[in-house]
Structure 1
Amino acid sequence: MQAAITRLGRNAAASMNDIAQEAGVGRVTLYGHFPSREALVEAALIRLLARGEDVLEAIDLTGDPRDGLRSLMESGWLLLAQAASVLQAAQTTLPAGRVQELHAKPEQRVHDLIRRGQNEGVFRTDIPADLLASALHHILHGAATDVATGRLDAADAPRFVAEMTLAICAVPPASPQQD
C-alpha cells in the first residue's frame, strides 16, 4: 500500500507495473492483493484519508470558529499537499461521485464548523454554508495546483490558504447608511 501511495504521489498516472516495481514485487503478486488499478487507487486514497482523519480529529473545534477554521485549513492544506497526486489519480480512475463519498466525513466537519460560526455571528450568513465549504475546498485544491506548478511557495501556502478562507467566511462590513 505504501508503495502505491509513494508511486502515485510522484505520478498520478503510475501503472500497476510501476507500483509493483516500487513495492519490489511482481505484477502478479500485486494483482493478487488488488484485482485492478481502480481498487488499488481507491485503497490508497482510503489509507490517506484515514491518516488525515486522525490529524483532523485532533483539532479542537470547540472554541472560536475562526480559530478552528484556521487550524482545519492549515492542517487540511498539509494533508492535501501530501496526497494531491493520489487524489488526482482517484479523480480520473474512480467512478463519478466516489471521491466525494470518501471525503464525506472531513467535508461534514467543515460544514458543521461553518454553520456553527454562522449561528454565532462570526461567519457570514448571506452565503449558504455549503457554498462557503465548497469555496474553501477549491482554495485548497487551487493552492495545491499553484505549489505543484511553482506559482506558490509551499512554505507560504498554509498561511495564505487560512487567510483566504477566513476572508471568504468573514462577516462583511456593514454598508454605510445613505441619507
Structure 2
Amino acid sequence: MTTTAPARRPRRDAAANREGILSAAATTLAHDPHASIDTIARAAGLSRRALYGHFDDRDALLREMLLAGARRFNALAEQIETDDDPPLALARLTHRLWSEAAHVQVAAAIALDDGHLDDTATALAPLRRCVAAIVRRGQETDTLRTDVPAPTLSRLIEETARTMVTRVDAASPQARPLAVRAVLSIAGLSWRDGDALVTRLEEESPC
C-alpha cells in the first residue's frame, strides 16, 4: 500500500522557504546592501530558480521586506495612546519603533530610501496617522511646538526619524536614546525635558 504526503505540506514548505529567503535577505543585505539575487539565494540555501519561484525579481523581494517591516511598525503605532500626554506619547512611539528598528533596520533603510518613498508612504499610513494625531494634540495643548503647521511638523518628525534609521547603527546602546532625543528636539522640547522622558522610558523598558 502506498502512502502520500499530506496535501498541505507543500504549502508549509513554500511558506518556510519564503520566510527563509526574507531572513537570508535581511542578513545578507545588512552586510552588503547591493548583494545580488544569487548571493541572497545561496544564503537561503536555495537555487536562483527556486528563489524566483517566490519573488519575480530583486525589487519584488525588497518590496516584501518593506511591507514586512511596515507591518511591524504599524502594529506598534496602534498600541500608542494618542490621547496621552503628547510629548510622552511621541517619546514612547519613537522608543518602541527604534527597538523594532534594531531588528529590521535593513528593511527600514530600504523602505526609507528615496527610491521606495512612494511605496513607503502607503505602507506606513497607520504609523503616519498616529504621528499626525500626536502632533495635533500636542499643538492643541501647547506641549509641542506651534511655530509651524501640524502637517509640516509631522513631516519634520518623520524626516528626523528617517535620518536616524538610515544613518545610525541601531545596534549601538546609545542609538535608541539618541533617536528619541532627536525626535523630541525637532518637536520642540528642550534637551532637559527630552532627557527626562528618555530616562523615564529607559527605566520602564531598559532592554
The question of a shared fold, defined as TM-score above 0.5 by the shorter chain, is answered with: yes
Percent identity between the aligned chains? Answer: 28
**Unmatched 5+ residue regions in structure 2?**
1-21, 191-207
Aligned to 1:161, which of 170, 179, 191? 179
Moved over 6 A (4+): none
SS at match of 2:53: helix
Larger Rg: 2
Over the aligned positions, Cα root-mean-square deviation in angstroms equals 2.5
Question: Deviation of residue 146 (structure 1)?
Answer: 4.4
Task: Name the structure 2 match of 1:137.
Answer: 158
The residue aligned with 2:13 is: none
Tell me the residue number matched to 1:175: none
Segments of 5+ residues of structure 1 without an aligned counterpart are: 173-179
Aligned residues: 168
Structure number with greater CO (CA < 8 Å, separation at least 6) is: 1
Q: 1:57 aligns with which of 63, 78, 84?
A: 78
Q: CA contact under 8 A between 1:73 and 1:162: conserved in structure 2?
A: yes
Q: Deviations over 1:109-131 (max 9, x none)?
A: 11111011111221122211222
The match for 1:113 among 116, 127, 134 is 134
Matches within 5 A, 1:60-71: 60-71=81-92
Q: Distance in 2 between matches of 1:85 and 1:147?
A: 12
Q: 1:41 to 1:23 in 2, by over 3 A?
A: same
Distance in 2 separating the partners of 1:52 and 1:88 = 13
Determine the C-alpha separation between the residues in 2 that align with 1:17 and 1:93. 22
1:102 Cα deviation from its structure 2 partner: 1.8
